Structure formats: structure tokens, C-alpha cells
Structure 1
Amino acid sequence: MKTLHSLAAACCLALAGCVSVPDRGGPAIGDLPATAEAAALAAQQAREQRVRALPVLAFSGRVALSNGRNGGTGRIEWQQSGDRYEVTLSAPVSRQSWRLAGDASSATIDGIQGGPRSDSDVERLLRDATGLDIPVGALAAWAGGARADEATFGPARLAFTGDGRLARIEQDGWTIDYLGWREEHPGEGQPGDGQPPLQLPDRINAARGEAKVRLAIDAWSWAPDSP
């Protein structure tokens, strides 16, 4: 247990001193009439289809992590292609970082005290190595404003703002609040694209019990090895 506590402390110390992620509180959720709610759900389903169709979904920004006792903030870079992911969390001030890479069957974390560690369960790997609860298997979907695979993570409950924008996803015991959005153009410059801008989140708060993840996304990308 002492080893695990020291690893968690090292992780949190590595992230200390970085720019914090602003907490703007929860979204204003509207009580929509049935027809408006159906329209919002249809728009959400269409947006999710576009997000899932992207060959690569990548973002960079700032992250704040907490488990009720320990926590910290830092820079995050995330690249997802199908089930494969690569996540780098770094603290520019201390120049320390760790890297997580894997797929649906296995994951490896390196840059931590004691050398690289691997496990078939990525959430268990991160809890053991850092003491933090991070929903890696679902976070790429949630970060993109989409429900994670319901066959794996269970049914999701959606809530929308009064103007029909996604405000919250509740899934697998997590509550994900969407505090800000931006327009992106994944198909821009491609012949015959002709699609409207894709709405993607830029401020997200996720919580399950004492575990909290806050994201402030600075840039989105759908090209390999970006952003």
C-alpha cells in the first residue's frame, strides 16, 4: 500500500503548479416539451454518428483530476483511433509526465515511479499506479459529446438545455456536464463535403462520487499524430 500511495503522491506532485481548469458550475438544463426533446435527441444522434465516423479523434488542453484526497492539474493530449488510444499527461513546470497507451484488451503506463506497468483493465491500472479514477474507456466518447458504447458501459441518460443543446450525459455511474462548445470543420477542404460545422465540447466536468475529471479543450484534431 505504501508503494501505491507514493505513486499517487508522485503523480499529483508532478501535476502541481500547472494552470487550473476553470469550474463554471453545472449547465442550465431546460424542461423541454416532448417535440423539442425529440428534435434535440435526433440532432444528438446525428452528431454522434459524425463523431464516431471520424478515423481519428484527438484533443489537447488542460485537465484537473481529483479523488477527494489527492489531485492535480496539467496538460493533456489524447488521440483515439477506434479502440486504440494514446494519452500524455504532463506538468510543464516540473517537466514530469506520464504516457498511457492501449486498446480494448490491454494498457501500459510509463513515466511513473518504478517503471512501466501493464494491465488488461486500464481503469484498474490507473487506480493502482496513480490512485486516480479516470474513465479511459469512455472518456474519448464523452469528451466528443457522445455516449460511450452502451453494450460496455450501460445505458445513458441525456439532458438538454432549453435551446436543445446537450447539457449532460449520465452513464456508468458518471455524470458528465457540458459547459461550452465550439464549431469545427472536419471535412473542410475535401471535395463534396458540404456538411455543416460539427459541434464539439470545449469545457467538460465529469464526476462519480469523489472522483472528478475536468477538461478544458484548447484544440481538436482528426489527423494522426495530432494535435
Structure 2
Amino acid sequence: MSRYIRPCLVASLILLAACAPTRPTVHREGDVVTMSQQAQREHDLADTSHWTLQGKLSVATDKDSGSGSLTWHQDGDRYDFTVRAPVTGRSFRLTGGPDGAELDGLEGGTRRGPDAETLMAQTVGWQIPMAELKRWVLGLRADTGPADIRFGDDKLPSQLVQDGWTVEYKAWDASRQPAMPSKVFAEKPPYKVRLAIESWQLGQ
């Protein structure tokens, strides 16, 4: 578990509920009204760069799997997220920003890299699109390239495909305005990630 939890840390960047029931995965092309609502959500959240989420994370490949609790704090361009293994209680922490990234909790001490993408590729072999992940976890399209977005019966995003990742929004906290994702699955073979978000704190 201690060896594999490292990819879990990476996966936590991905995203990806409160224990709300999973809604059926229904994908519909966005009509004018739905796309207008999504455009309004994206406008409302466009400047959201300070937030904290807490939840549970699981990640799997075709060879292994692992899980843990996650705390992800985003402070502008800086990030700080920690994954804690449920059995050992061991913590793995990734922090960084424009000046580089650090990964603590691995055997052999702190690892450093010029950015999270390079550091994760070097230590655990994951390719992490950090710029996109900060948007995807909010239920938004990233502005780094084309994206295909589809919606459920509730007119909230149910699927987002961008940069080779398929992100499934399985549940939303509609009690918030705007609504926020609460259960997110993401996949880019061979990686599969599930994130159950238990709390959002925007602006903190």
C-alpha cells in the first residue's frame, strides 16, 4: 500500500461526494439553454482559484489499486494536497507552484522537480495535466484545448472529454450556487480515478 499510494497522490490532482446517491449516467448534447447555463457556471467560477476540498480518493491501473483520504488546497497558482492511507495512516504530500514542486512521504526523503507534471512522471510514471485538473475538479472545461462536454437530465455536466481524459460527473451538490461536483470518475487508460468530495470551501 505504501508503495502504491504514490499514484493515489497523483490521482488526487485529478479531481476527481458527499455520499449522495449516484445518478444515472445519461449523456445529452447541450442545447442552447443548457450550454447557456454552463457558460454562466463557467463565468461565475472563472476566477475561482482559492478553494479547499476534502474527500476520499481511489485509483487503479490494470495491475494495482489503492485508496486514501484527500485534502486539496488550491491557493492561486500554488497547491497543497495530502493523501492519507487508511490502514497505515501514512501521509503523502505534494506542494508547489510556479517555482517548482515537492513530494514528501516517500522512502528516501523529499523529491523535488521543476513542476508537478515532471515530478510525478519521474517518481510514479504518471502524466498529470495540472492546468486542466484545476478546472475539471470544478466541473469546468479547461482553456488549454478542445473539449467535448455532455449533460444529464439535470442540465449539469455528466461527461467531459479533454486531452485524452474522460471525466464522468456522477453526482453534484445542487444545494450550492453554483452547483459543485461531488462525485467524479476520471479515466485515461490504464489509469482510473474516483473522487468522492465530502466538502467544498470556496475562497479559502
1:152-171 alignment, distance < 5 Å: 154-171=145-162
The share of aligned pairs that are identical, in percent, is: 30
Is the alpha carbon distance of 1:47 and 1:109 closer, same or farther for their aligned partners in structure 2, counting shifts above 3 Å?
A: same
Are 2:135 and 1:141 equivalent residues in the alignment? yes
- TM-score, normalised to structure 2, is 0.82
Distance change in 2, residues 1:106/1:24 (3 Å): same
* 1:62 correspondence with 2:56: yes
For residue 28 of structure 2, what is the aligned residue in structure 1?
30
- Report the alpha carbon displacement of residue 13 of structure 1 after superposing the two structures with TM: 8.9
Whether contact under 8 Å (1:65, 1:213) holds in the other structure is yes
- CA distance, structure 1, for counterparts of residue 99 and residue 146 of structure 2: 22
* Contact 1:27/1:161 (<8 A) preserved: yes
Q: Is the 8 A contact 2:56 2:197 kept in 1?
A: yes
Q: CA RMSD in A?
A: 2.8
1:206 is the counterpart of 2:186: yes
Unaligned runs of 5+ in 2: 9-16
Q: Distance in 2 between matches of 1:171 and 1:65?
A: 19
User: Which of residues 118, 138, 144 in structure 2 aligns to 1:124?
Assistant: 118
- The code of the aligned residue for 1:169 comes to L
Q: What SS does the corresponding residue of 1:30 show, helix, strand or coil?
A: coil
Q: CA deviation at 1:133?
A: 4.8
Specify the SS of the correspondent of 2:132. helix
* Residues 65 and 132, structure 1, Cα contact 8 Å, conserved in 2: no
Unpaired runs of 5+ residues, structure 1, are 1-7, 16-20, 186-196
Size of the aligned set, in residue pairs, is: 194
Q: 1:133·1:211 contact (CA, 8 Å) conserved in 2?
A: no
Larger radius of gyration: 1
Q: Quick one: distance in 1 between partners of 2:7 and 2:79? A: 22
- What TM-score, normalized by structure 1, do the two folds share? 0.75
Q: Which amino acid aligns with 1:221?
A: Q
Letter in 2 for 1:165: L
Is the 1:83–1:103 contact (alpha carbons within 8 Å) kept by the matching residues of 2? yes
